């Protein structure tokens, strides 16, 4: 290493895996991002997005490096450079004017979620301006899991103890693509003799290290999980002691699961009964952990499906035990971002929070009692367009590319265009930024400090601001502070819920009550802390009965189904004629190693590795429909707003009758403002209008009926050229 290089321990937070990193700086520039093999959680696991995409994002030619104001009609693609003072003054002026005329609830924020500090900061910014409205993308991600985790009282999401497990049950999760830390841990577990069971309609790489692979028809997992519970109960393989002491509603749950003996589950899911029995017996041996993913989340029966698996986990006695699924651990006194959101010191009056859009429809999801206290997104889109329940007129978007990543792209565009004012903080000019009035340059992971709880560790992690921000980029914290100061000067501040002078002070506040110091964190990049497992007497379950609720009193109180149950998947709920018209089942969201959702599409190396949006098709399906490998097809769904073109990949890993595609596609080189997001983006095909999960408000992003047709020769030529 050159003498003038310094290497810092840090954390990559380009994605929620948050791997331990070593960042090398020379002459004020990051010259290397590498894994930190000494990190207690990631143990050297890392991915190409951290190593390559992050530095290229930071130093790439496409980066937005100064604030800009649009110089033509909205979406016209013409921009002028302005100063931060001009940008923030104009934002304050516009937000204050909307709040004065229509009330502060006419303002909304959008961010990915409170997993990162920017989520909490955007929420506290909006609250300071008097609005409880902020959107998160988690209804499209881990929302069903989170709601199930809360209503059962388990609190186990992210706590899979793969290192010590004897059996890993992987459901709707593709770890080799989605999470290098989990994937490495699974391979280690396999090596030391742990058994692995995969439940996935597709033959994912994890199947290659599995003892057993169950391939249900998409959307039928609840039947499989209930049948597995039935096997545990009828064969007396469940944990009687844990159930008697710590579970509520066992008899009712046993009755419910008895309605799904393996033979019936086989009919509903297509998984042979003997495989369900085998999987149940392997899982019952333990210690076993439940590894779940997006494949059973983000659909309109997601919470019930998750509850079926969560109840299986509970009765198997694998809650908060070594090798099982750990409950959330944090250092005594430490504050997470979610803690901040629920802290009474940073709350608006109850009657204002009750106005959160979606709180009435989905109280477990949106509003004061909701998981992250955010809005229900499709309801906000509706509010922007129709004024129901009231009109949202101005928005601030940061850390989320909603035009591309929300279903129903044309509607999201129309909703954002209907606003009086839109400001977007971003790294590059995305289709969302293209329709803003003001675009703000944001710092990247290499330029901004972050303190976060690593649930998987568990440990607290630190991300170092390794270099000065490029150009005039600012962090979410600095943008929010600048904006609030200007709102205050206009007498338009409801409260100051961001009282810390700097991001460092904010980070110190998170650590304040704990034994961990900023110095410790900076020196190592992480800090471990002691915790207890299985201390159910002192750390009770956060439910009305203080037990794990197999029968949910919370759901019963809301008039919702208190026991987990199976519901037929979307294609089966359609009339036969519609099924004939849309004969295939669409799964979206296949993760590509080169991209993070819509990000890094401007990077040449990534586009070289993954040049086209693909659709995976079984050889039988391809033959039946006359698709050849590499041909372009268009995809449509019933009630969807449009179509998109994708390139056929013929593969036996996808089952017949099912097609799988990714998400997040757009073409930075294509014409503004859409930049291809209406042509190659799967969300241009799907509706966001429901049906919604009655508990979490999630819409179907998988298991949808669809129609796939070949592009004609002319279309194919256009596509290849485009
Ligand atoms: N490289 C890269 N990594 C990423 C991301 C990225 O964009 N790029 N995104 C990150 C984010 S935010 C997320 S949420 C995760 C998502 O990553 P995962 O949680 O792994 O989710 P998916 O890849 O959407 O789907 C996982 C599996 O579910 C299966 N599946 C589909 N339908 C069903 C079903 O009905 N039942 C069952 N049992 N399985 C089903 C699919 O075939 C797929 O193999 O990845 C994270 N990691
Ligand atoms: N059809 C379909 N739709 C899906 C999914 C699916 O499987 N199918 N998956 C859903 C899931 S799981 C998720 S999590 C969402 C993801 O949806 P998004 O969060 O919208 O995805 P990203 O492309 O990661 O968008 C991040 C954007 O925020 C900007 N940004 C601003 N500040 C920051 C910052 O500090 N850090 C980072 N990293 N970015 C910043 C970046 O420039 C980038 O444009 O999409 C969802 N949408
Ligand atoms: S998986 Fe890749 S992008 Fe995500 S935190 Fe780890 S290195 Fe960064
Ligand atoms: Mo996600």
The bound ligand whose nearest atom lies closest to the alpha carbon of 176 is 1
516 phi/psi in degrees, rounded to 5 = -90, 130
Phi–psi pair at 110, nearest 5 degrees? -145, 135
* Residues 457-494 pLDDT 10s: 999 999 999 999 999 999 999 999 999 999 999 999 99
Minimal-distance CA residue to ligand 3 atom 2:
47
Residue of the CA atom closest to atom 4 of ligand 1: 178
Q: How far is ligand 3, taken at its centre, from the CA of residue 178, in Å?
A: 9
Pocket of ligand 2 (CB under 6 A): 14, 112, 118, 137, 140-141, 294, 398-402, 405, 407, 425-428, 430, 442, 588-589, 596-599, 663-664, 682-683, 686, 701
CA 269/CA 263 separation, integer angstroms: 10
What percentage of the chain reaches a pLDDT higher than 90? 96
Ligand 2: which of 64, 137, 474, 702 to mutate, most ligand atoms within 8 Å of CB? 137
Q: Which of 247-251, 440-444, 574-578, 595-599 has the weakest average pLDDT?
A: 574-578
**Cα 288 to middle of ligand 3, angstroms:** 26
Segment 142-161 mean pLDDT: 98
CB 292 within 8 A of CB 309: yes
Q: What is the edge-to-edge ordering of all strands in the sheet holding 107-110?
A: 79-81, 68-70, 438-441, 421-426, 394-398, 107-110, 134-135
Evaluate: CB of 141 within 6 angstroms of ligand 1: yes
Instruction: Compute, in angstroms, the gap from residue 114 CA to the centroid of ligand 4.
Output: 12
Tell me which residues have their CB closer than 6 angstroms to ligand 3: 12, 14-15, 17-19, 46-47, 49-50, 180
Structure tokens at 690: 């429901």
Q: Point out the ligand 2 atom lying closest to the alpha carbon of residue 398.
A: 31
Q: Is beta strand 394-398 parallel, antiparallel or unpaired with respect to 288-292?
A: unpaired
Q: 172 CB under 6 A from ligand 1? A: yes
Q: For residue 715, what pLDDT is reported?
A: 53
- Please give the sequence-ordered ranges of beta strands (E in DSSP) within 464-562, or none if there are none: 526-527, 548-549
pLDDT of residue 20: 98
Ligand 1 pocket: which of 591, 614, 660 to mutate (most atoms within 8 A of CB): 591
Does the CA dihedral 367-113-436-481 come out positive or negative?
positive
Q: How confident is the model at residue 2 (pLDDT cuts 50, 70, 90)?
A: low
pLDDT, average across residues 374-394 = 98
In terms of Cα–Cα distance, which of 572, 661, 550 is closest to 301? 572
Tell which one of 11, 12, 44 to mutate to probe ligand 3, the residue whose CB is within 8 A of the most ligand atoms. Answer: 12
> What pLDDT, on the 0 to 100 scale, is given for residue 714?
36
pLDDT of residue 571: 81
Cβ 202 under 6 angstroms from ligand 1 = yes
Q: Which atom of ligand 1 is nearest to the CA of 220?
A: 35
Cis peptide preceding 381, ω within 30 of 0 = no
Q: How far is the CA of 400 from the centre of ligand 2 (A)?
A: 5
- Number of the ligand closest to the Cα of 461: 3
CA of 269 to the centre of ligand 3 (A): 34
Give the tens place of pLDDT for each residue, 173-209: 999 999 999 999 999 999 999 999 999 999 999 999 9
- Residue 218 near ligand 1, beta carbon < 6 Å: yes
Calculate how far, in angstroms, residue 6's C-alpha sits from the geometric centre of ligand 4.
33
Question: In the 8-state DSSP scheme, what is residue 404?
Answer: H
Confidence of residue 719 (pLDDT cuts 50, 70, 90): very low
Q: Please, which pLDDT band fits residue 717 given cuts at 50, 70 and 90?
A: very low
pLDDT value for 354: 98
Distance from the CA of 628 to the center of ligand 4, in angstroms? Answer: 31
**pLDDT recorded at residue 713:** 41
Q: Is the CB of 174 under 6 A from ligand 1?
A: yes
pLDDT category of residue 720 using cuts at 50, 70 and 90: very low
Q: Is the CB of 200 under 6 A from ligand 1?
A: yes
* CA dist., res. 627 & res. 649, Å (int): 9
Ligand 1 pocket test, candidate residues 14, 294, 584, most atoms within 8 A of CB: 294
> Does the pLDDT at position 50 exceed 70?
yes
Secondary structure (3-state) at 507 = helix
Q: Cβ neighbours of residue 540 under 8 Å, at least 6 residues apart?
A: 546
Distance, CA 291 to ligand 2 centroid (Å)? 22
Res 570: pLDDT: 85
Q: Whose CA is nearest to atom 41 of ligand 1?
A: 295
Q: Which ligand is nearest to the CA of 13?
A: 3
What band does 300 get if pLDDT is binned at 50, 70 and 90? very high
Ligand nearest to the CA of 587: 1
Distance between CA atoms of residues 668 and 677, nearest Å: 9
Question: In degrees, to the nearest 5, what angle opens at C-alpha 633 toward C-alphas 632 and 637?
Answer: 155
Structural domains of the chain in order of their starting residue, each with its CATH number = 160-325+537-557 (3.40.228.10), 570-721 (2.40.40.20)
139 phi/psi in degrees, rounded to 5: -65, -20
Closest atom of ligand 2 to CA, residue 598: 23
Ligand 1, closest atom to CA 221? Answer: 36
Predicted confidence band at 619 (pLDDT cuts at 50, 70, 90)?
Answer: very high
| Distance from Cα 75 to the centre of ligand 1, integer Å | 32
Best residue for ligand 2 mutational test, from 50, 397, 474, 597 (most atoms within 8 Å of Cβ)? 597
DSSP string, 170-217: EES--HHHH-HHHHHHHHHHHHTT-EEEEE-SS--GGGGG-SEEE-PP
Residue 576 is predicted with a pLDDT of 80
Ligand nearest to the CA of 112: 2
Structure confidence at residue 81 (pLDDT)? 98
Residue nearest to atom 7 of ligand 2 (CA): 589
* Residues 487, 490, 494, 495, Cα dihedral to 10°: 60
Radius of gyration of the chain (CA): 25
Say which ligand is closest to the CA of 175. 1
The bound ligand whose nearest atom lies closest to the alpha carbon of 178 is 1
**Ligand 3: nearest atom to the Cα of 42:** 6
Q: How far is the CA of 461 from the centre of ligand 4 (A)?
A: 20
Residue of the CA atom closest to atom 4 of ligand 3:
15
State whether the beta carbon of 199 lies less than 6 angstroms from ligand 1.
Answer: yes
Residue 721 pLDDT class (50, 70, 90 cuts) = very low
Is 404:613 a contact under the CB 8 Å cutoff? no
Which is the closest atom of ligand 2 to the Cα of 427? 42
Parallel/antiparallel/unpaired status of strands 584-587 and 658-661: parallel
**Mean pLDDT for the chain?**
96
Q: Ligand 4 center to residue 99 CA distance, Å?
A: 32
80-115 tens-digit pLDDT? 999 999 999 999 999 999 999 999 999 999 999 999
Ligand nearest to C-alpha 42: 3
Helix, strand or coil for residue 25?
strand
Locate the ligand 1 atom nearest the alpha carbon of residue 179 and give its number: 47
Cβ proximity of 138 and 341 under 8 Å: no
Please name which ligand lies nearest the alpha carbon of 174.
Answer: 1
């Amino acid at each position: 290493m050159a003498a003038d290089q310094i290497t810092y321990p840090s954390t990559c937070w380009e994605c929620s895996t948050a791997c331990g990193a070593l960042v090398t700086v020379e002459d004020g520039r990051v010259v290397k991002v590498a894994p930190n093999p000494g990190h207690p959680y990631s143990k050297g696991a890392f991915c190409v997005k951290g190593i390559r995409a992050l530095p290229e994002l930071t130093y790439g030619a496409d980066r937005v490096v100064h604030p800009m104001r649009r110089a033509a009609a909205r979406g016209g693609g013409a921009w002028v450079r302005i100063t931060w003072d001009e940008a923030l003054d104009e934002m304050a002026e516009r937000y204050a004017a909307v709040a004065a005329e229509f009330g502060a609830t006419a303002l909304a924020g959008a961010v990915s979620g409170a997993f990162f500090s920017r989520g909490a900061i955007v929420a506290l910014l909006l609250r300071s301006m008097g609005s409880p409205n902020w959107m998160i993308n988690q209804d499209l991600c881990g929302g069903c899991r989170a709601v199930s985790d809360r209503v059962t009282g388990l609190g186990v999401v992210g706590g899979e103890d793969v290192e010590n497990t004897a059996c890993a049950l992987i459901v709707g999760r593709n770890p080799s693509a989605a999470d290098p830390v989990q994937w490495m841990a699974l391979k280690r577990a396999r090596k030391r003799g742990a058994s692995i069971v995969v439940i996935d309609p597709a033959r994912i790489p994890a199947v290659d290290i599995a003892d057993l692979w169950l391939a249900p028809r998409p959307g039928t997992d609840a039947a499989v999980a209930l049948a597995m519970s039935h096997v545990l109960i009828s064969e007396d393989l469940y944990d009687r002691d844990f159930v008697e002491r710590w579970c509520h509603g066992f008899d009712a749950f046993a009755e419910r699961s008895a309605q799904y003996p393996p033979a019936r589950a086989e009919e509903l899911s297509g998984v042979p009964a003997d495989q369900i029995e085998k999987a149940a017996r392997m899982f019952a041996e333990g210690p076993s952990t439940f590894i779940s993913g997006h494949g059973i989340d983000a659909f309109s029966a997601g919470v019930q499906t998750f509850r079926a698996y969560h109840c299986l986990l509970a009765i198997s006695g694998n809650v908060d035990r070594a090798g099982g699924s750990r409950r959330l651990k944090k250092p005594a006194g430490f504050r997470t971002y979610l803690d901040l959101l629920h802290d009474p010191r940073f709350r608006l009056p109850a009657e204002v929070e009750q106005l959160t859009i979606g709180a009435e429809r989905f109280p477990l999801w949106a509003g004061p009692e909701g998981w992250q206290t955010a809005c229900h997104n499709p309801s906000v889109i509706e509010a922007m367009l129709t004024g129901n329940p009231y009109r949202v007129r101005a928005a601030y978007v940061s850390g989320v590319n909603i035009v591309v990543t929300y279903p129903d792209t044309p509607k999201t565009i129309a909703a954002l265009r209907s606003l009086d004012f839109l400001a977007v903080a971003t790294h590059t000019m995305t289709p969302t930024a293209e329709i803003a009035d003001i675009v703000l340059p944001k710092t990247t992971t290499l330029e901004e400090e972050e303190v976060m709880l690593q649930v998987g560790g568990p440990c607290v992690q630190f991300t170092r601001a390794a270099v000065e921000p490029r150009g005039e980029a600012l962090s979410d914290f600095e943008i929010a502070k600048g904006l609030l100061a200007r709102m205050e000067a206009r007498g338009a501040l409801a409260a100051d819920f961001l009282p810390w002078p700097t991001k460092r002070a904010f980070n110190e506040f998170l650590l304040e009550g704990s034994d961990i110091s900023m110095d410790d964190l900076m020196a190592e990049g992480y800090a471990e802390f002691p915790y207890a497992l299985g201390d159910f007497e002192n750390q009770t379950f956060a439910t009305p009965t203080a037990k794990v609720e197999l029968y949910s009193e919370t759901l019963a109180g809301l008039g919702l189904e208190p026991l987990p149950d199976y519901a037929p998947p979307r294609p089966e709920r359609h009339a036969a004629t519609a099924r004939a018209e849309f004969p295939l089942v669409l799964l979206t969201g296949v993760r590509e190693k080169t991209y993070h959702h819509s990000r890094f599409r401007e990077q040449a190396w990534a586009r070289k590795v993954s040049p086209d949006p693909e659709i995976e098709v079984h050889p039988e399906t391809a033959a039946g429909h006359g698709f050849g490998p590499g041909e372009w097809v268009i995809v449509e769904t019933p009630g969807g707003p449009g179509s998109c073109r994708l390139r056929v990949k013929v593969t036996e890993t996808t089952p017949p009758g099912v097609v799988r595609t990714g998400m997040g596609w757009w073409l930075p080189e294509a014409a503004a403002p859409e930049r291809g997001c209406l042509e190659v983006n799967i969300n241009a095909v799907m509706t966001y209008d429901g049906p919604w999960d009655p508990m979490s408000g999630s819409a179907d992003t998988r298991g949808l009926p669809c129609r796939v047709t070949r592009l004609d020769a002319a279309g194919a030529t256009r596509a290849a050229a485009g």
